[in-house]
Chains A and B, each alone.
Chain A
Amino acid sequence: MATHRSCALWSCCGRRWSRVMRCCRLPGFRSSWPRGPLGARHLSQEKQATETHFGFETVSDKEKGGKVYHVFESVAKKYDVMNDMMSLGIHRIWKDLLLWKMHPFPGTQLLDVAGGTGDIAFRFLNYVRAQHKRKQKKQLRAQQNVSWEEIAKKYHNEEDPLGGSRVVVCDINKEMLKIGKQKARAQGHKAGLAWVLGDAEELPFDDDKFDVYSIAFGIRNVTHIDQALQEAHRVLKPGGRFLCLEFSQVNNPLISRLYDLYSFQVIPVLGEVIAGDWKSYQYLVESIRQFPSQEEFKEMIEDAGFEKVTYESLTSGIVAIHSGFKL
């Protein structure tokens, strides 16, 4: 209980501090405001609770990062197979829905954090490519009295099938990025894709760089979610969109019981049979239960400085897409 109270106190302090930080972000003030270790994080580290959850266990902040790293290092090779088995293939629909909500157009710069195996990145590239083709067709149709030669020329001068869009996939785990790169090669994605090994709490990107920041099934594994949200706010351009696809609280009691039964009885067993790793899947299932509800997470996003924050529950709340804008 004490840990819950201290966690609540800590999150309150974190929220108040982030509000102060937001007010101080004036153009003249930026250069004098200290960054990095001397910045907000140093001051906030003074009043840290130092304990957090790792599934249903309590561990120190420092330990959690390493433990999560080991979990994903061991599941990386069978990650996609296990996703299909655990969600019965529904995770593909969830990710497609995220892309449809994002509705990127040619020219969008996407930062996909914790996107190791590249599911969102590949969907983004396919979506943008299809959009670009559709746009070209419309343009051709709109032009009247065009000769066949000119039409052929337009199709041949295809310099960038993505229309200037780029996706940067950032993940803290090298194994997941390796698998993602192999998949990219197998599926034939070459242009417009970049891979970076980085920490979501300390992104190696400059301010105001990306149009969309997406994080799918990754934010519950971050040790300090509020720092990740603040970094998201920093790297987005004004007008940029934050999108988070994550497991959330189920609203229907009957489905909640079935879901709990499935999560705790079936998933770790599947993990053992297919991936040979019971503990990692036990952690994954427990971490879902520890993640805040839709409303709480919405408040956390608002505290980081995002506006017009909304969420949409999918599959009766098993998964939720949170969206916010940096205005």
Chain B
Amino acid sequence: MHEDLRRFKKYSLARDWRSRPGGPKAPCGAVAACRTLPSGACCWLASALRGPRVPPFAVARRCLHASGSRRPADKSERTGDPPRAFDLALLEFLVCPLSKMPLRYEASTNELINEELGIAYPIIDGIPNMLPQAARMTHQNKKKKWSSTRS
């Protein structure tokens, strides 16, 4: 048990746990106790209160995994691309929900464009947003409308 607490401190779980907004959701009586105990023990106490079925070592392993996985996720958020890349294989299924015509993937703006209607659907976090309300009009459509109103 003491070795586990030392391991918690070593991997600086306490920092992650304290910095979470709102703190852990533990019953009030335990909060005062948590303040006096070392932070690693607090983490264990909170999780024990939450889920009595889960043994503390499994929680420790999960915490370690979580802290380990958080770092590469942050890195990818900073660089931006690989987990959010749009899967081009989806294009064989996707069509415009309004006209049911096939779409073209535009890599520069990361959008799916319907040439006929002149609308573009955004792709956010690798998930294409195919709601008609979310689509924006492309410049070609605006040009066509402008020239038709002029003539």
Contact = CB atoms under 8 A, between A and B. Distances in A.
B84 to A, nearest CB: 10
B131 A36 contact: no
B127 A36 contact: no
Question: Range of interface residues on chain A?
Answer: 20 to 34
A194 B100 contact: no
A289 to B, nearest CB: 29
B90 interface: yes
Contact of A206 (B100, B126, B128, B134): B100
A270 to B, nearest CB: 15
B95 A197 contact: no
A195 interface: yes
A209 B98 contact: no
A80 interface: no
A205 B98 contact: no
Nearest to A198: B130
Interface string A223-239: 00000000000000000
B85 to A, nearest CB: 12
B94 A205 contact: yes
B117 to A, nearest CB: 9
Contacts of B93: 168, 194, 205-206, 209
Contacts of B132: 199, 202
A36 B94 CA distance: 16
A194 B97 contact: no
A292 interface: no
A64 interface: no
A194 B90 contact: yes
Given A194-B87, A196-B90, A206-B93, A36 B98 contact: yes
B93 to A, nearest CB: 5
Contacts of B94: 196, 204-206
B69 to A, nearest CB: 8
A195 B97 contact: no
Interface residues of B, number: 23
A42 B141 CA distance: 24
Nearest to B121: A204
Contact of B128 (A172, A178, A185, A197): A197
A172 B124 CA distance: 14
Contacts of A166: 89
Interface string A181-199: 1000100000000111111
Interface string B12-25: 00000000000000
B96 interface: yes
A172 B131 contact: yes
B125 A198 contact: no
Given A168-B90, A194-B87, A194-B90, A202 B98 contact: yes
Contacts of B134: 197
B129 interface: yes
B148 interface: no
B79 interface: no
A200 to B, nearest CB: 11
A207 interface: yes
B99 interface: yes
A195 B134 CA distance: 16
A197 B131 contact: yes
Interface string A62-84: 00000000000000000000000
Contact of B97 (A174, A202, A209): A202
Contacts of B83: 185
A125 interface: no
Nearest to A36: B98
A197 B99 contact: no
Interface in A26-59: 35-37
Contact of A37 (B87, B98, B126, B127): B98
Interface of B: 83, 87, 89-90, 93-100, 102, 124-132, 134
29 contacts: A35-B99, A36-B98, A36-B100, A166-B89, A168-B90, A168-B93, A174-B124, A178-B125, A181-B125, A181-B127, A185-B83, A194-B90, A194-B93, A195-B126, A195-B127, A196-B94, A196-B127, A196-B128, A196-B130, A197-B127, A197-B128, A197-B131, A199-B132, A204-B94, A204-B130, A205-B93, A206-B102, A207-B100, A209-B93
